Amino acid sequence: MRITPYKLKIFCLNFAKMASGKTRLVTLGALVLAFICFITPATKYDSSVSLVVENDRTQLPLKYPFFICQFGRPRSATTFQTRLLLAISNLKSPEGISIPEVPSLPMGAMRMLRTLFRNPSNKSVPVIPDVSRTDSGLLLGVMKTHSPLIGLECVDRGYPVFTSDKPDDAIGEKWDNKFQAALHRQDMDEMEKCSLCQVDYYKPIFDLSDDEVATLREYMGLYEKVRQCCGLQMSKYNRARLHGCDTTSFRDLPNYPNCEDNNMEEIEQKLYDHPITIEPAHPKDNWAQPGDCAKFDKSIIGGNDFNNKKWDSKCPVVENGKVQFHF
């Protein structure tokens, strides 16, 4: 097998991603290896791969085959928007076709690329990893990223881009003018008032029928409850409750999930049996099948917290009229 410069770069990126969050020594080794790899030129003319800009993927209404990018700052409901885009893509795809969630590069790797390449839109940088493709070679998937560089790469390549933001996000505002091509910008204030109302924005973009909108609302309603009440990324209010903190004074807040009032076993089963089926992403940390809610509750009660970090035994407090979390 011929090892081309492009394949070498792909190997380096995968190694860097694997090393993300590991020991400093391993991360340093990844950076050194990546530097060696990236100083080797590889362009879209490399015969081993096609990096062609696909200019017609944003024509409305969007139709199969879908490759969609979601960009948003952390904690701006990016996962909700990504899951909605996955649900729509799978609903509107031919029977038997599964649209996967595509993992993007870690932000550490993107900062490294920014240092190595002064031009962020350099097409020789393979920022989109290997994903599913149609028989004709077109990409399939929905990719979520917190990195503006990857989001702008999607814009440059003509892929549909959707964004999310949150109030008073100065960093997010800095990038707003660069994402004018986004087909929809999810507003966090609107999300908190009525998250399922977001489905209506996608009706003209994907030519959704009224029945499809109803199906998506049902699916996202179930998914949202599971997302907020299960897994190692569940609501911080529910994690506090499971840690034994007194959360009764927070129950009237608009973003309090009221997980203790839900029959989670019933909700899990309904989501699992729903006609919209999506391959679970990161099942070690997130819900994948009935029974997982009880499993993750036990983990949180046992002292674990967000993304399996250890809880610091500090309960939320109200300071200056706002709930402050220290975990």
Write the pLDDT tens digit of every residue in 158-185: 999 999 987 666 555 666 677 888 999 9
Task: Quickly count: other Cβ atoms within 10 Å of residue 61's Cβ.
Answer: 12
Question: Rounded to whole angstroms, how far apart are CA atoms 292 and 63?
Answer: 34
* Apex 172 CA angle, 139 and 59, nearest 5: 35
Q: Which residue has the higher pLDDT, 221 or 173?
A: 221
Give the CA radius of gyration of the chain: 21
The structure tokens listed for 41 are 């030129």
In terms of DSSP H, where are the helices of the chain?
5-19, 24-38, 78-91, 107-116, 148-156, 170-176, 188-193, 203-206, 210-229, 236-242, 264-273, 292-301
Q: Are 92 and 190 in contact (CB under 8 A)?
A: no
pLDDT for residue 174: 66
Mean model confidence pLDDT for the chain? 80
HSE (side-chain half, CA atoms, 13 Å) at 143: 29
pLDDT for residue 68: 96
With 80 as the cut, is the pLDDT of residue 15 above it? no
pLDDT for residue 176: 67
With 50 as the cut, is the pLDDT of residue 290 above it? yes
Cβ neighbors of 288 (< 8 A, separation 6 or more) are: 280
Mean pLDDT of all residues in 255-268: 96
Instruction: Tell me the pLDDT tens digit for each residue of 25-62.
Output: 545 555 454 444 443 433 332 323 333 344 457 899 99
pLDDT for residue 36: 44
pLDDT band at 192 (very low <50, low <70, confident <90, very high): confident
Tell me whether residue 275 is exposed, middle or buried, using C-beta atoms within 10 angstroms of its C-beta: 0 to 12, 13 to 18, 19 or more. exposed
Does the pTM exceed 0.85? no
pLDDT for residue 173: 63
Q: What residues does 164 pair with on adjacent strands?
A: 72, 186
Cβ neighbors of 162 (< 8 A, separation 6 or more) are: 68, 69, 70, 71, 81, 85, 182, 183, 184, 185, 186
Tell me whether residue 135 is exposed, middle or buried, using C-beta atoms within 10 angstroms of its C-beta: 0 to 12, 13 to 18, 19 or more. exposed
Q: Are 96 and 172 in contact (CB under 8 A)?
A: no
pLDDT for residue 169: 65
Instruction: Tell me the pLDDT tens digit for each residue of 61-113.
Output: 999 999 999 999 888 999 999 999 999 999 999 999 999 998 776 655 655 55
The structure tokens listed for 204 are 């003209």
Q: Which residue has the higher pLDDT, 44 or 274?
A: 274
Mean pLDDT of all residues in 259-274: 97
Task: Quickly count: other Cβ atoms within 10 Å of residue 30's Cβ.
Answer: 23
Q: Are 31 and 106 in contact (CB under 8 A)?
A: no
- Going by the DSSP 8-state scheme, the letter that residue 280 receives in this structure is P
pLDDT for residue 104: 74
Q: Which residue has the higher pLDDT, 326 or 149?
A: 149
